[in-house]
Chains A and B, each alone.
Chain A
Amino acid sequence: MKTMIRLSFVMALYATVACVGLSFVYIATAPRIAAAEGEAVKSALGEIFPEASDFIDVTGKLESGSDSIVFDRAYVAMAGSAVSGMVLQVTGPTYNSSTMLVAVDMARRIQAVRFLSNLDTPGLGTKTAESPFIDQFFSKSVDDGFATGSDVVAISGATISSKAVSNILRLAGFEGSEYLALNYGGLSGSGKAPSVAELAPMPLDASLADLFPGAEFSDVTGKVANTVERSVVFTGAWLAKKDGKAIGVAVQAKGQTYKASTILVGVKLDRTLAGVRINETSDSKKYGFTMVSPEFYGTFTGKPVDDPYLVGKATEGGDVDAISGSTISTMGVANMAKVAGYEGAVYLASLSAGKKGPPAASPFVLNVIPEEE
């Protein structure tokens, strides 16, 4: 024990001395590094707008309006007294993350794209920085859809990177053009700002309001009991009322997905789901996390609670489509939706407000989540 403490102390001491030393070096070199990076950007700007005589720094005057996509720098290119366009340095999440320079001209077209860094998988995601993928954006109007599959051809094997890069280019191109239109007489567009939907779990309050819009909620946690499945835990329940009448119940359930997830299941009086919303998930960012997308959880909206809720890929004749690559996560969500839906409907029936279930409603079979995929 004594040696252990001594060794940890020695180790900590060395680490501390190293850190203090490094912080001094960092403080000394940081301004030079920033200056050198600025120089690199400036020279890239010169290549994009060779006719420009001056670049006005407008960094901080444009907002991306997104939490994850950041405009690091912004310059307006001036050729004499005429404006030839602008360049934004934008950093955003691709498969991992990328920083690029996006140039737009006065006619709302993307002029050039330069990657400053691309941390995606080498050989797959990094192909977004190369021809022919990146070439399809040159001279592209920022009011286009930028949707992979229609006006943007994705890289096979790097769909996520392709989508993300198109999104970032679209947002940066649009905001840059808008800024030019407002301040320098650039062509103005009619389109609305592109909204970049970021996939994130939906908090409880937002989920409740989304499932039962305009309803009032009273907490009935504990009154909706889980009598069928021990692996699913009900962490809360709310009765939704409109004009004093019950219209449904929302049950929050926690259970195993690939790791664990908490979902909110809304049940209506007619034994169908008002929908499913994902409140929390610790599943892997690359696969199971896809459950937070509306395309997935939206498939449960209006689904009768007496359906089998078996996942198609794993079970013959299943009625829930698995997220590709995430069958286990899908099974977990389907199980929770089934159990919570069933118990929610039972609770509503007990209030003599909801429809009673058919005699064969219970017992039912759940998806069997394999130990290892």
Chain B
Amino acid sequence: MRKYIDLFTNGILKENPLLVIMIGLCSSLAVTTNIANGIGMGVAMTFVLLMSEVIISLFRSLIPNSIRIPVFIIIIAAFTTIVDLVMKAYTPALSKAMGVFIPLIVVNCIIMGRVEAFSYKKTVADSVADSLGMGLGYTWVLCAISIIREFLGAGKFFGFKIVPDGYQIGFFSQPPGGFFVFALLISAVLAINKAIEKKGGKK
């Protein structure tokens, strides 16, 4: 049990895909202008990651090594398309707001990286723990970035206006603002990870 908890928490902080491994950044910077987008993208991505990791670790002995990458792409693309269709059908507004970034989950490095480096070699249970950890790690960072950007850039919190007009900083709604917030989060997480390491080292 301890192992699974370790695997799960690994993705959230220690090996956070966005803040520590720093992959799959484009979509995360592009959609994080409001919290609804952040949650939607995080959930969509976590679903695709979970399903792809499960399927690939289930069939890992049946996927020939030399064609593993194309097979991964087929599996990831299938689940991405499912997410895309379901979102179009049930949350059309959200699907429109995210535009091309939902189909682009196919080429998200986090998914490709995790299935290649992790689930192709590990058991299904390990993969589930890893994908949930990674997915949650991705989602919380997305939410954090979008809360900060939505608050500073649009003066809103979960869509409710809390800062009067004229006091917003438009910079944070633009891509540079995304980079800025992202960099702050990276340094914060680095500091936390270092502190944890130090504490662990003293023990």
Contacts and interface: CB of A to CB of B under 8 A. Distances in A.
Interface of A: 6-7, 10-11, 14-15, 18, 21-22, 25-26, 29, 32-33, 36-37, 39-40
A29 B67 contact: no
A37 B92 CA distance: 8
Contact of A39 (B63, B75, B81, B92): B92
B75 A18 contact: yes
Contacts of A40: 92
A14 B85 contact: no
B88 A22 contact: no
B88 A36 contact: yes
B167 interface: no
B89 A22 contact: no
Interface string B14-31: 000000000000000000
A57 to B, nearest CB: 20
29 contacts: A6-B64, A7-B66, A7-B67, A10-B62, A10-B64, A11-B70, A11-B71, A14-B74, A14-B75, A15-B74, A18-B74, A18-B77, A21-B78, A21-B82, A22-B81, A22-B82, A25-B82, A26-B85, A29-B86, A29-B89, A32-B89, A32-B90, A33-B88, A36-B88, A36-B89, A36-B92, A37-B92, A39-B92, A40-B92
Contacts of B74: 11, 14-15, 18
Contact of A33 (B64, B70, B85): B85
A6 B88 CA distance: 37
Given A7-B66, A11-B71, A18 B78 contact: yes
Contacts of B86: 25, 29
Category for how many chain B residues contact A: 10 to 19
Given A7-B66, A18-B74, A25-B85, 4 more contacts: A10-B71, A11-B67, A11-B74, A33-B85
Contact of A10 (B67, B90, B92): B67
Contacts of A37: 92
Contacts of B89: 29, 32-33, 36
Contact of B85 (A6, A10, A11, A29): A29
Contacts of A11: 67, 70-71, 74
B54 to A, nearest CB: 14
A182 B147 CA distance: 55
A7 B68 CA distance: 10
A40 B62 CA distance: 45
Contacts of A15: 74
A32 B62 CA distance: 36
B83 to A, nearest CB: 10
A169 to B, nearest CB: 23
A11 B62 CA distance: 11
Contacts of A14: 71, 74-75
B36 to A, nearest CB: 17
- Per CB-CB distance, the 10 closest pairs between chain A and chain B, nearest first, are A32-B89, A18-B78, A29-B89, A36-B92, A29-B85, A33-B89, A33-B88, A25-B82, A14-B71, A14-B74
A341 B150 CA distance: 69
